[in-house]
């Protein structure tokens, strides 16, 4: 009995000791994860920013300006220097991480974010930045945008360069076909009608949406009530009746003279040359299209994503998120200062006016100190801002097979739309391939 009491007492002490040590460890871990180190302007902390936009001529100048403005202002004041790395293939950051180099901030696509989380050590914002500062910074950002880079209820990417699809319109071709560019098509049925009129009157293609576009395809499916992937991201779900009908509609446009033939690289060139009446793509091409219209002597108009009958359209987002992987409290602080700047008022003013993406701080569009004048002069941005309210996040494919899944999905759409292949059979085969991998 004495032995039992003694053993029981020792057991209780041991359990309490272990519990206290565990609590201390957990507390220490939590504190370390969310700790911002002290920055020193006299001994600045250097961080690397890998950006694919730096590799594209239409975006390079704006992103360089964004980084330089930070380095010259907040960075100089606080003690942070951002070193930029152009990553055109979006593979350099992977190679450098594998080589042991420190990669602090990545301009990352949404669809493969889960894969990088699992394999490249991306860190959740909640684990490296203080909760109160996150909440304060997120005020004013479109609520839908804040959900885009979340995985398992944690943010692994904050929306950065971003847009929804828009129908760019060549006003000259519309008018030559007896159409009013101020009254653009609202439904897919009207898109076909308008497109055929343009082709008949001008001899030029009336409409284009590149089948290999990928992200806009999801919006077409969702707008008819279909799905692309289940909410838990464990199953591809793009073969419902609604999904098949949406792609069959697109195939009809493509096969019956109402659709230009070309890829996501070719159709923008056709539109800028003044040889395409309507083209659906990202707002990021707005600057280039505006210059082409001015040079070609025609006016650029726009409209939102077309809808199926009375069903509201459901656009998805393109663009990128900022993923982070700082490795010290000082890096946490340095990265956070950079994130706050480029997704703050000044940052989004540069991103929208010089690069072409949407300001996710939507209030800037009405603020005369920031973007009001720009948006007033470029009314197409108002269309895109309105679409944010019904926007659906682009699919984030499951980690291990993210790239393969996205490729299979896109290839299936291309085959279904551009060939004689049966739409339902083509989609079902692709869906099975994806589900066989991820399940």
Q: Which pLDDT value is given to residue 15? A: 37
- pTM of the model as a whole: 0.78
* Cβ proximity of 281 and 165 under 8 Å: yes
* Cβ proximity of 163 and 283 under 8 Å: yes
Q: 85: part of which helix (H) or strand (E)?
A: strand 80-86
| DSSP conformation letters of 105-164 | EEEEESTTHHHHHHHS--B-HHHHS-HHHHHHHHTTS-HHHHTTTEETTEES-EEEEEE-
- The two tokens of residue 215 are 């992200």
Which residues of the chain carry a pLDDT beneath 50?
1-33
Q: Which pLDDT value is given to residue 363? A: 94
- Helix (H/G/I), strand (E/B), else coil: 217: helix
> How many CB atoms neighbour CB 419 within 10 A?
12
CATH number assigned to the domain covering 165-316+397-438: 3.40.190.10
Query: May I ask the CATH architecture of the domain 45-163+318-390?
Result: 3-Layer(aba) Sandwich (3.40)
Q: Which pLDDT value is given to residue 145? A: 85
Listed by start position, the domains of the chain span 45-163+318-390, 165-316+397-438
Nearest to 357, CA basis, from 341, 378, 373: 378
Q: Which pLDDT value is given to residue 4? A: 39
pLDDT, one tens digit per residue, over 39-80 is 999 999 999 999 999 998 778 999 999 999 999 999 999 999
Domain 45-163+318-390 matches domain 165-316+397-438 at the CATH topology level: yes
Q: 76: part of which helix (H) or strand (E)?
A: helix 74-78
| Summary count for the chain: helices (H), strands (E) | 20, 11
Q: Token match 């519309």: residue?
A: 174
Strands 300-303 and 165-170: antiparallel
pLDDT, one tens digit per residue, over 99-115 is 999 999 999 988 889 98
For residues 168 and 249, give the distance between their C-alpha atoms in angstroms, rounded to a whole number.
20
């Amino acid at each position: 009995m004495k032995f039992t009491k003694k053993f029981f007492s020792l057991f209780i002490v041991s359990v309490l000791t272990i519990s206290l040590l565990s609590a201390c460890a957990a507390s220490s871990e939590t504190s370390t994860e969310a700790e911002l180190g002290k920055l020193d302007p006299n001994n600045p902390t250097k961080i690397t920013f890998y950006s694919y936009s730096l590799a594209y001529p239409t975006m390079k100048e704006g992103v360089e300006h964004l980084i330089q403005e930070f380095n010259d202002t907040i960075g100089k004041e606080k003690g942070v220097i951002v070193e930029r790395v152009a990553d055109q293939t979006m593979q350099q950051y992977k190679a450098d991480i594998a080589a042991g180099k420190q990669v602090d901030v990545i301009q990352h696509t949404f669809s493969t974010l889960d894969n990088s989380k699992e394999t490249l050590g991306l860190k959740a914002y909640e684990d490296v930045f203080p909760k109160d500062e996150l909440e304060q910074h997120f005020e004013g950002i479109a609520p839908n945008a804040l959900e885009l880079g979340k995985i398992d209820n944690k943010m692994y990417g904050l929306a950065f360069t971003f847009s929804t699809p828009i129908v760019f319109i060549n006003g000259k071709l519309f008018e030559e076909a007896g159409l009013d560019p101020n009254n653009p098509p609202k439904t897919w049925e009207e898109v076909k009608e308008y497109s055929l009129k343009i082709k008949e009157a001008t001899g030029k293609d009336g409409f284009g949406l590149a089948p290999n576009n990928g992200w806009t395809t999801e919006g077409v499916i969702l707008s008819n009530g279909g799905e692309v992937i289940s909410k838990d991201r464990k199953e591809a779900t793009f073969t419902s009746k609604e999904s098949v009908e949406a792609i069959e509609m697109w195939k009809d446009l493509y096969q019956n003279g109402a659709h230009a033939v070309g890829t996501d690289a070719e159709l923008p060139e056709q539109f800028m040359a003044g040889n395409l009446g309507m083209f659906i793509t990202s707002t990021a091409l707005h600057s280039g299209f505006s210059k082409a219209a001015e040079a070609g002597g025609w006016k650029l108009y726009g409209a939102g994503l077309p809808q199926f009958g009375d069903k509201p359209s459901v656009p998805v987002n393109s663009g990128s998120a900022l993923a982070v992987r700082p490795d010290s409290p000082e890096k946490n602080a340095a990265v956070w200062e950079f994130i706050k700047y480029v997704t703050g008022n000044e940052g989004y003013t540069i991103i929208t006016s010089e690069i072409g993406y949407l300001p996710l701080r939507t209030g800037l569009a009405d603020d005369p100190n920031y973007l009001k004048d720009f948006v007033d002069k470029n009314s197409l941005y108002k269309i895109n801002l309105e679409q944010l309210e019904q926007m659906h996040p682009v699919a984030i494919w499951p980690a291990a097979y993210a790239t393969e899944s996205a490729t299979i999905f896109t290839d299936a759409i291309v085959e279904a739309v551009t060939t004689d292949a049966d739409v339902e059979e083509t989609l079902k085969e692709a869906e099975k391939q994806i589900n066989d991998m991820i399940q």
